[in-house]
């Protein structure tokens, strides 16, 4: 006769004592706003993988200018070179769900870092444009893996009351990576070609190697262990990641009950389950799953439809269009942008569990819409001027910084948090894989068409279009995204079974 999940827990509980249902729901809510150092260290290690994407976004904005001069590529090839990493990351993000369900979250993070390491070395040593593109493809696959698995692992290991901060760490590290890329551009721009751009791209192999080695000491996700029926190992991890043994057991019971419910839906045992049948559920979703998909796909779509990645990639060209002609000065301004962006995303991470997801997300999209409109006005004005007035240039620089700041307050970090926390346990890995694939496709399309469209309608016109998209995004988030602050991953599914709350 088959044992239930709770019976299995009773068998392996050792020193634990059963808690009443009311206590098991509330334990872990009391005094759990403080950070568990073990969880924090594991979340930081997992999120460090995101530095790789950030560094590539930042450094490519400068490296592509020297690549264009050295390899004599045209504007279309430049767009393909920049955007192909995002498109190719689709491969990694789609594969990451199945991979992480099979080999575990931790080893998938190692795989992501190792793949990006190979891509970075290949780009740094590339003798020609085709070889450079090949390196971008490999690096893109590694980025796809890291974007999906980092937030999922962090969400699964984090207690409910600090999950917002910890799950937003990937965005913090993306922005830190962007800043490092900008600094790399500024420092290495004085070196002769092609040494400058080769070092800019190749140096990304160093953090990738460090991440691959560091992640080996991380614990496995307790929720993945529970899905595999490895309750003793899950219990050990939860003891380290909880404030007390009572909280650890309560979390373990909650996970086990969720796993048992999931086990009853597909015809496979949780001990052997590796993600079968998930895509069938997405093709014929129930009403709650449909709501989850709409919310998760929507937040990922509007994150990239804001054009933030494209503006970062092409920031030197944007500033050149506003009147800043010196390449060193362009890189200097991008460093200022990187500092502002990093500071604001860190502030958002600190307050995410206090103010909640919805308020910061609505503030973010409204602020991005206004900032892009101001940037469009400034760009249009400068386009019609023979002499570039300082105040108009300053307006554009401030508008770009405001755009990045508002993006970093909400859209940037909350996208990763939301994508990793709203899917049920059994669907989480492949669900996150699906929505992050949407993220990568939109990012790639915007990055690969940004210059071409801007040449036809000007940068100012492009910024007006992006501003309009953000207005639509604000309306979408107000209507379709419920608040998830302070709730366990197992409780969040119930939110989507009811009507969306107004706040």
Task: Between 477 and 37, name the one with better pLDDT.
Answer: 477
Give the pLDDT score at 3.
44
Task: Between 288 and 34, name the one with better pLDDT.
Answer: 288
Q: Residue 8 — very low, low, confident or very high, per pLDDT cuts 50/70/90?
A: low
- Average pLDDT score over residue span 365-391: 87
Report cis status (omega within 30 of 0) of the bond before 194. yes
Give the pLDDT score at 500.
45
Give the pLDDT score at 269.
41
From residue 344, how far is each of 150, 353, 407, 411 by CA, in Å? 21, 15, 9, 12
Task: Between 120 and 271, name the one with better pLDDT.
Answer: 120
Give the pLDDT score at 33.
52
State the Cα–Cα distance between residues 25 and 250, nearest whole angstrom. Answer: 7
Cα 56 to chain centroid, rounded: 14
Task: Between 130 and 216, name the one with better pLDDT.
Answer: 130
Percent over 90 (pLDDT), the chain: 13
Q: If you average pLDDT over every residue of the chain, what do you get? A: 80
Q: Is the pLDDT confidence value at 374 over 90?
A: yes
Give the pLDDT score at 498.
60
Spell out a b/e string for 294-310, using b for 16 or more CB atoms within 10 Å of the CB, else e.
bbbbbbbbbbbbbbbbb
Delimit the domains of the chain by residue range. Answer: 32-495
Q: Residue 227 — very low, low, confident or very high, per pLDDT cuts 50/70/90?
A: confident
State the Cα–Cα distance between residues 335 and 58, nearest whole angstrom. Answer: 9
Q: Is the pLDDT confidence value at 264 over 60?
A: no
Give the pLDDT score at 35.
66
Q: Is the pLDDT confidence value at 122 over 50?
A: yes
State the Cα–Cα distance between residues 420 and 184, nearest whole angstrom. Answer: 31
State the Cα–Cα distance between residues 373 and 467, nearest whole angstrom. Answer: 6
State the Cα–Cα distance between residues 97 and 104, nearest whole angstrom. Answer: 10
Q: Are 419 and 151 in contact (CB under 8 A)?
A: yes
Give the pLDDT score at 386.
74
For residue 384, the SS3 value is coil
For residue 16, the SS3 value is coil
Q: Is the pLDDT confidence value at 305 over 90?
A: yes
Give the pLDDT score at 272.
46
Give the pLDDT score at 175.
82
Q: Residue 499 — very low, low, confident or very high, per pLDDT cuts 50/70/90?
A: very low
Phi, psi (degrees; rounded to nearest 5) at 432: -60, -40
Q: Which residue, 397, 338, 301, is CA-closest to 55?
A: 338
- Average pLDDT score over residue span 24-31: 45
Give the pLDDT score at 423.
84
State the Cα–Cα distance between residues 494 and 289, nearest whole angstrom. Answer: 11
State the Cα–Cα distance between residues 247 and 239, nearest whole angstrom. Answer: 8
State the Cα–Cα distance between residues 456 and 462, nearest whole angstrom. Answer: 9
Paired tokens of 354: 């206090």
Give the pLDDT score at 299.
93
CATH no. for 32-495: 1.20.1250.20
Phi, psi (degrees; rounded to nearest 5) at 152: -65, -50
Give the pLDDT score at 474.
94
Phi, psi (degrees; rounded to nearest 5) at 31: 65, 20
Q: Residue 261 — very low, low, confident or very high, per pLDDT cuts 50/70/90?
A: low
Q: pLDDT tens across 310-352, in order?
A: 888 887 777 777 767 777 777 777 788 788 888 888 888 888 7
Q: pTM score, two decimals?
A: 0.71
Q: Which residue, 405, 375, 407, 406, is CA-closest to 393?
A: 375
Task: Between 63 and 6, name the one with better pLDDT.
Answer: 63
- Average pLDDT score over residue span 94-123: 87
Q: pLDDT tens across 58-68, in order?
A: 888 788 888 88
**CA angle, 153 then 495 then 362, to 5°:** 80
Q: Is the pLDDT confidence value at 301 over 90?
A: yes
Q: pLDDT tens across 143-181, in order?
A: 888 878 887 888 788 776 777 777 778 878 888 888 888
Residue 374's CB is within 10 A of a number of other CB atoms, namely 19
Give the pLDDT score at 267.
41
From residue 493, how far is each of 147, 165, 425, 427 by CA, in Å? 22, 20, 9, 11
Q: Are 361 and 414 in contact (CB under 8 A)?
A: yes
Helices (H), 48-104: 50-71, 75-103
Q: Residue 10 — very low, low, confident or very high, per pLDDT cuts 50/70/90?
A: low
Q: Is the pLDDT confidence value at 22 over 60?
A: no
Q: Is the pLDDT confidence value at 481 over 70?
A: yes
Give the pLDDT score at 501.
45
Q: Residue 2 — very low, low, confident or very high, per pLDDT cuts 50/70/90?
A: very low
- Average pLDDT score over residue span 94-104: 84
Give the pLDDT score at 477.
93
């Amino acid at each position: 006769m088959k044992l239930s999940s709770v019976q299995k827990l009773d068998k392996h509980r050792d020193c634990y004592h059963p808690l009443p249902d009311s206590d098991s729901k509330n334990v872990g809510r009391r005094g759990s706003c403080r950070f568990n150092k073990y969880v924090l260290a594991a979340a930081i290690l997992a999120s460090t993988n995101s530095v790789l994407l950030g560094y590539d976004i930042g450094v490519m904005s400068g490296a592509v200018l020297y690549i264009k001069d050295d390899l004599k590529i045209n504007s279309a090839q430049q767009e393909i070179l920049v955007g192909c990493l995002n498109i190719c990351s689709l491969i990694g993000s789609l594969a990451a769900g199945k991979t992480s369900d099979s080999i575990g979250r931790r080893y998938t993070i190692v795989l992501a870092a190792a793949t990006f390491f190979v891509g970075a070395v290949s780009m740094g040593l590339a003798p020609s444009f085709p070889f450079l593109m090949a390196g971008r493809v490999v690096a893109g696959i590694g980025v796809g893996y890291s974007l999906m698995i980092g937030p999922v692992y962090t969400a699964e290991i984090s207690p409910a009351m600090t999950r917002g901060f910890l799950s937003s760490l990937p965005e913090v590290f993306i922005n830190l990576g962007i800043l490092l890329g900008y600094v790399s551009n500024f420092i290495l721009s004085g070196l002769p070609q092609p040494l400058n751009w080769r070092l800019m791209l190749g140096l990304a192999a160093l953090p990738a190697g460090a991440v691959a080695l560091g992640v080996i000491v991380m614990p496995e996700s307790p929720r993945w262990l529970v899905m595999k029926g490895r309750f003793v190992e899950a219990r050990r991890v939860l003891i380290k990641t909880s404030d007390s043994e009572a909280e650890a057991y309560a979390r373990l019971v909650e996970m086990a009950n969720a796993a048992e419910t999931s086990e009853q839906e597909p015809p496979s045992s949780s001990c052997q389950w590796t993600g079968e049948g998930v895509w069938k559920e997405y093709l014929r979703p129930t009403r709650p799953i449909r709501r989850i998909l709409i919310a998760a796909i929507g937040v990922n779509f509007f994150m990239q439809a804001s054009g933030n990645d494209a503006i970062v990639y092409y920031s030197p060209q944007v500033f050149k269009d506003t009147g800043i002609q010196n390449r060193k000065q362009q890189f200097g301004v991008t460093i200022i942008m990187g500092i502002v962006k990093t500071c604001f995303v860190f502030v958002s991470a600190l307050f995410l569990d206090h103010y909640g997801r919805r308020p910061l997300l609505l503030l973010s999209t409204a602020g991005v819409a206004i900032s892009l409109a101001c940037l469009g006005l400034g760009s249009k004005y400068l386009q019609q001027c023979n002499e570039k007035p300082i105040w108009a240039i300053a307006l554009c620089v401030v508008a770009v910084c405001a755009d990045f700041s508002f993006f970093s307050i909400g859209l940037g970090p909350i996208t990763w948090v939301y994508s990793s926390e709203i899917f049920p346990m059994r669907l989480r890995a492949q669900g996150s894989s699906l929505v992050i694939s949407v993220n990568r496709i939109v990012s790639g399309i915007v990055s690969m068409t940004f210059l071409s469209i801007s040449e036809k309608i000007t940068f100012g016109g492009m910024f007006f279009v992006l501003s309009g998209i953000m207005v639509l995004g604000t309306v979408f988030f107000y209507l379709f995204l419920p608040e998830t602050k302070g709730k366990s991953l197992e409780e969040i599914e119930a939110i989507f079974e009811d009507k969306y709350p107004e706040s």
